[in-house]
Structures are given as C-alpha cells and as structure tokens.
Amino acid sequence: MKNIKITAAVTLLVLGLTSCKDEKQEQAQKKVDAYVAYVDSVKNVSAENLKADWKAVDAEYDRRSQEAQAALADLKDNSAATEKVNASKTKYEEFKNEMSTVFAPPAPAPSPKQQLRDALFGAGKIGDDMNFNWVNAQNIHSVYQQFVHTVEDNKDKYSREDWDEVKLMYEALDSRKNTVEKEGLTAEDNRKIAGLKIKFAPMYTVNRMGAKSEENKDAKK
C-alpha cells in the first residue's frame, strides 16, 4: 500500500513537471508568434501614423524582440521558431531603414546661385568648391554646349547678379580648358568650342548691360 502511494505521488510529480514544461513551451511559442505578428502589423500601418508614434513603436519592437529571443531557449525544438524570428528581424530592419528615409526632413532647396550652377552644368556638378576636375578632353565640348545654350535660353531672365555668376563660371570653365588642351583635346572639339565662345561673348556683354539698365530703371521708380 505504501509503495502504491509512493508510486502515485511520483506519477503526479512527473505529470506536474510535464505540465509545467508544456505550459512553458506553450508560452514561449506564444511570445514568438506575438513577435512575428507585431512586425507584420507594424508594416500595415500608414507612414503618417507611424511617424507620430515611431519611438513608441520601435521601443515596443525591442521589447517583443527580446522576449522572443529569450523564448527560443524554452523551446525543445526551436529551429522553426528561430527561422521565423530571424525572418521577422530582417523584415523589420529593412522596414525601419525605409521609414528612416520617409521620416527624414526634406533637403533644403538649393540657393539661387546653386540653382544657376546646376542649370549651367548639371545638378550637383559644381558646388562651393568650384571643382572642375570632372571636365575632361572627352566631355568638355558638351559642357560648353550646355553652358552656352542654357545662357542663350535664359538671357532675358538673368539679373545683373546672375550675369556676374555666369561670368565667374565661364572664366572657371575656360581655366579648366587650358588644362584639358594638354590632355588630348581634339582639334575638332577645340574648333567647336571656339565657335561657342564667339557666340557667348557678345551675348554676355549686351545682356549684362541690359540687365543693369533695367535694375537702374527699377531703382528710379
């Protein structure tokens, strides 16, 4: 009888331990599933709503991520769960990078001077450092073409200050040409550039004077 009681007690203890283990694994699986579901739910929220609460969203992600990582240790066979956690982690990191771009403040508009330089040479080609090293024997003719044609298209819109900037850029380009001539500039391209320079010179002189006259008129008014 005594042996029966002991056996029964041991059986109950084993069943209790087994039940605790099963419950622990069940809770661990729930934490993994909750983490995966959270990542999927965040991706379905509009960027506008996310932006307002992003710090809280990211903090909640960190909490759930830590719980899921800890839960993996409580799972007897955690290979499938580990794969799910890693996939969700990658998914969230990619989404976070995407949102960082979306939430970033817009870049300030370039100054009028920079806008003029962008039009003359191409966006971002010439900055405050006035570096013309990108101009070489192969592209210098097209650079002059864009410069002179842009000036021709906008000559009636330029202010006196614009023309001063145009002249500054033109002289810097000419200085670069002196270097490029020693680096294989073809005679044909040199001839074409000379034609563009002949076209630019009177256009600059006449329109620069006209812009100054218009500003004097406006000042008198």
Give the residue with greater pLDDT, 48 vs 18. 48
Structural domain spans, the chain: 2-103, 112-220
Which pLDDT value is given to residue 9? 41
More confident residue, 221 or 49: 49
DSSP string, the chain: -HHHHHHHHHHHHHHHHHHHHHHHHHHHHHHHHHHHHHHHHHTTS-HHHHHHTHHHHHHHHHHHHHHHHHHHTT-SS-HHHHHHHHHHHHHHHHHHHHHHHHHSPPPPPPPHHHHHHHHHH-TTSS-TT---TT--TTTHHHHHHHHHHHHHHHTTT--HHHHHHHHHHHHHHHHHHHHHGGGT--HHHHHHHHHHHHHHHHHHHHHHHHHHHHHHHHHH-
pLDDT, position 215: 58
Q: pLDDT tens for residues 142-196?
A: 999 999 999 999 999 999 999 999 999 999 999 999 999 999 999 999 999 999 9
pLDDT digits (tens, 9 = 90+) for 88-130: 999 999 999 999 888 888 878 889 999 999 999 999 999 999 9
pLDDT of residue 14: 41
**Average pLDDT of the residues in 17-46:** 82
Write down the pTM of the prediction.
Answer: 0.56
Give the model confidence (pLDDT) of 192-217 as tens digits.
999 999 999 999 999 998 876 565 55
The per-residue pLDDT for 166 is 97
